[in-house]
Amino acid sequence: ETGVTQSPTHLIKTRGQQVTLRCSSQSGHNTVSWYQQALGQGPQFIFQYYREEENGRGNFPPRFSGLQFPNYSSELNVNALELDDSALYLCASSSPPRTGELFFGEGSRLTVL
């Protein structure tokens, strides 16, 4: 167990709706990253938050947005859901200095109908 918890574990939405996913980072970690993992694919970087500010963004449209709170927990918000947004959304926490050692949660499985 990594200590990174995500909620909800599964959810179903319809096209055009909005969704909020939540993540609690591992104790002592002040950096949170979000990844999208489509079925049968590797995770794709969405964005990262460090000390409540976005610090790096992947190739995702602005309808993907996020927040990080003072306790380092984080939210991922997706507006105007599309069918292709169906995926496993992974949250990972880490601590500087820069490292690729990320601690992932078990993910939130989103299905868009």
Partner 1 sequence: QQQVKQSPQSLIVQKGGIPIINCAYENTAFDYFPWYQQFPGKGPALLIAIRPDVSEKKEGRFTISFNKSAKQFSLHIMDSQPGDSATYFCAAIGGGTSYGKLTFGQGTILTVHP
CA distances from 46 to 1, 40, 88, 101 (A): 23, 18, 12, 17
**Subset of residues 9 to 38 that bind partner 1, contact rule: CB under 8 A:** 31-33, 35
The size of the interface with partner 1 (CB under 8 A), counted in residues, is 32
33 backbone dihedrals φ, ψ, rounded to 5°: -120, 150
Residue 100: CB minimum distance to partner 1, A? 4
- Which residue, 25, 21, 14, 50, is CA-closest to 37? 21
DSSP one-letter code for 84: G
Backbone angles phi, psi at 85, to 5 degrees: -80, -10
Kindly state the smallest distance separating residue 75's Cβ from partner 1, in Å: 16
Asked if 70 touches partner 1 (CB under 8 A), the answer is: no
Residue 40 CB, shortest distance to partner 1, in Å, is 7
Among 58, 65, 73, 75, binds partner 1 (CB under 8 A): 58
Could you list the residues that contact partner 1 (CB under 8 A)?
A: 2, 4, 31-33, 35, 40-45, 48, 50, 55-56, 58, 90, 92, 94, 96-107
